Structure 1
Amino acid sequence: MHDHSIAELPSLRRQKILLLLERDGKVMASELSQHFAVSEDTIRRDLAELDSAGLVQRVHGGALPRPKDSGKDYFTRLDETDEIKVRLAQLAAQHIEDGQIVLFDSGSTTLQVARALPADIRITAVTASPLTAIALSEYKGVKVILAGGQLNPHSMSASGQEALRLLAGIKADVAITGVCAIHPEVGITSLHFDEVPIKQAMLDSATQVIAVTTADKLGAVEPFVVAPCTRLHRLITERHPGSGNIEDYQRLGIVVEQLPD
């Protein structure tokens, strides 16, 4: 069965290739050519693009998954939090105002946003991340609502129907989210399938969505789609992105805010 709809857009075809690679552990150019009804030269160009983006490892006749730093456990990633993430978090914290209901996604960058709030802030904070909830509990004026459920060891946040039901019942003013990857055509994507529903529920429950990300996530693609970029209202990132093009996101109506030099 040929996937003609995917074949029309190279970016979506490459997204599908990543999904097949995640499922099968290896992809062959000859089989992909038949699957998508395109030439092997076209597939080889796809694999070359994915290889240059660091998403696959090309081998003779096809490609293998590339080992990822994101395989590190949550606490290792937390220890590696750098100055850039702290500065990005400080920018994001400026958009949170007294009286708001604010959703905090999981992740080390979002945790930094929680730590960067003004000491006298008065908000209701909702999160599925116990570590973020603990950070928020340090503020006297912050009411913390922690979504429960099974703990995901990768993200150190709750997942499952209990967390989803709580998030669906909240209409928040702002959602602060980190992203595994964001591409202007493919959208916001995640490396882990079980994180997708919680992230989608947060986007659905917020009037304004603010994504905070380092430059290496721009233009990147992971296997599982969370939402199109148009679900974002503001993107906070570095001044000089290493990949991607800021104008691509601005054309989608997203306000892009960059760190000052």
Structure 2
Amino acid sequence: MQNTHAAIDLPSLRKQKILLLLERDGKVTAAELVEHFAVSPDTIRRDLGELAAAGLLQRVHGGALPRPKDTGKDFFTRVGETDAVKRHLAQLAAERVEDGQIVMFDSGSTTLQIARSLPLSLRLTVVTASPMIAIALADHPDVKVILAGGQLNPATLSTHGHDTVRLIQSIKADLLFTGVCALHPQVGMTSLHFDEVAVKQALLDSASQVVAVTMADKLGAVEPFVVAPCSRIHSLITEWHAPDIAAYEQLGLEVLRVDV
């Protein structure tokens, strides 16, 4: 950022400009804003605090990020709204599964769609903390499903807790389809639910290859609880118009963009 603004900028105008910079850059730092607006650190801290209190951004150490995206929709609503794009992304992900593998499925409406896209002929061992995914694979004659028990989160319809994590840690899988609540190049993978974090981290630690499949609106977003850096993901499958793809590729991710 260049210092192009005088210190006499009105507070309301300055805050509007901060939001524009945040929309453009995907993040802002307090130090850059101090230089950009030629004001004191206390002034910028106050501006960011007021914008965060109004729900317009998310304060983080040293600056701010876009506010978390929360649709307020429950799991059954999200599943019912599965569209053609998500189905196509899921089908491409399902093609990566090879006969005889041990495959882990994180919870989520997209990973559920991937499970539903698997051919009936595959021989697999599937590990998941999602009862919905376990049920979706129940009619696959050669798929052994290991359902990690624990306390059920009614918001995500997945299990969590010590028993869930311990079972996942005891298995070494060939492939993981990880759920994506939000994925930001700098912040990494984040979740809206704190009790998901330990389960997601255990899944990441237990798989040789990690594939993330997500719609474009989850990219560049940030939720409150950090799971892992983007570098823990090997492949990202998303929509063609997804933003800032180069930032993920620079982190070493294989990115497949799909034009549906």
Amino acid at match of 2:213: V
Distance 2:221 2:68 in 1: 14
How big is the alpha-carbon RMSD for the aligned residues of Structure 1 and Structure 2?
2.6
**Number of residue-to-residue matches in the alignment:** 217
Distance 1:83 1:141 in 2: 28
Distance 2:68 2:177 in 1: 29
The answer to whether 1:40 aligns with 2:43 is: yes
> What percentage of residue pairs aligned between the two structures are identical?
56
**Residues 13/159 of structure 1: CA separation in 2 closer, same or farther (3 Å cut):** farther
For residue 251 of structure 2, what is the aligned residue in structure 1?
252
Distance 1:230 1:248 in 2: 11
For residue 98 of structure 2, what is the aligned residue in structure 1?
97
For residue 237 of structure 1, what is the aligned residue in structure 2?
238
The answer to whether 1:68 aligns with 2:67 is: no
Note the residue ranges of structure 2 that are not aligned, 5 or more in a row.
1-25, 31-39, 58-66
For residue 186 of structure 1, what is the aligned residue in structure 2?
187
**Partner SS state of residue 176, structure 1:** strand
For residue 176 of structure 1, what is the aligned residue in structure 2?
177
For residue 115 of structure 1, what is the aligned residue in structure 2?
116
Superposition pairs for residues 191-206 of structure 1, below 5 Å?
A: 191-206=192-207
Taking structure 2 as the reference length, what is the TM-score of the superposition? 0.77
Note the residue ranges of structure 1 that are not aligned, 5 or more in a row.
1-9, 15-36, 59-64
The answer to whether 1:213 aligns with 2:214 is: yes
Amino acid at match of 1:142: V
Structure 1 residue 80: deviation in Å?
A: 1.3
For residue 12 of structure 2, what is the aligned residue in structure 1?
none
Structure 1 residue 45: deviation in Å?
A: 6.5
Amino acid at match of 2:70: K
**Partner SS state of residue 41, structure 2:** coil
Taking structure 1 as the reference length, what is the TM-score of the superposition? 0.77
**Residues 185/175 of structure 1: CA separation in 2 closer, same or farther (3 Å cut):** same
Structure 1 residue 154: deviation in Å?
A: 0.7
For residue 140 of structure 2, what is the aligned residue in structure 1?
139
Question: Does the CA-based 8 Å contact 2:68-2:224 persist in structure 1?
Answer: no
Distance 1:198 1:133 in 2: 16
Question: Does the CA-based 8 Å contact 1:12-1:186 persist in structure 2?
Answer: no
Distance 1:172 1:12 in 2: 38
Question: Does the CA-based 8 Å contact 1:56-1:66 persist in structure 2?
Answer: no
Superposition pairs for residues 21-60 of structure 1, below 5 Å?
A: 38-41=41-44, 44=47, 56-57=55-56
Structure 1 residue 82: deviation in Å?
A: 1.4
List structure 1 runs of 4+ shifted beyond 4 angstroms. Answer: 10-14, 45-48
Question: Does the CA-based 8 Å contact 2:69-2:223 persist in structure 1?
Answer: no
**Partner SS state of residue 210, structure 1:** strand
Structure 1 residue 38: deviation in Å?
A: 3.3
Question: Does the CA-based 8 Å contact 1:177-1:212 persist in structure 2?
Answer: yes
**Residues 47/184 of structure 1: CA separation in 2 closer, same or farther (3 Å cut):** farther
Amino acid at match of 1:246: I
